Amino acid sequence: MAYDNNNIFAKILRGEIPSVKVFEDSKTLAFMDVMPEADGHVLVIPKEPAQDMLDLSPEGLTAMMATVQRVAKAADKALAPDGILIKQYNRAAAGQSVFHIHFHIVPRWEGLAVAPHGKAMVDAARLEPIAAKIRSAL
């Protein structure tokens, strides 16, 4: 399957769809997931068009991992979870639903179940205060 320039993350990168940004540099963007599995659920994407990890350049993957670590550390500092789940899906059979490579950073607290992946959308007004906490810890 060829990369689709009209996927939702490509539209976010072009500014056609709003997002609650947490961090951005020349190669990556981190923003709040609008269907969070837990408070503080952040997505990290490369600006390079790539369907999945198998399509991404080594330089793009290096930049992504640096941003994943930076944002995960900030979420850990800002939100004080008991753990941080980092996950990434490649292709539909593995659970990928948006075909632009992305990593999920999901803070986890003991005794709190995660919400189902991609099921319930929340308003940006609920995400912004959490994003502000994470941004302040960057």
Which of the residues 41, 100, 102, 104 is marked catalytic? 102
Is position 117 annotated as part of the catalytic site?
Answer: no
Question: Which sign does the torsion angle of CA 107, 125, 64, 50 carry?
Answer: positive
Tokens of 75: 């979420």
User: Are the CB atoms for 63 and 30 separated by under 8 Å?
Assistant: no
User: Are the CB atoms for 30 and 24 separated by under 8 Å?
Assistant: yes
Query: Sheet of 83-87: strands edge to edge?
Result: 21-24, 28-32, 42-46, 103-108, 83-87
Active site residues: 102
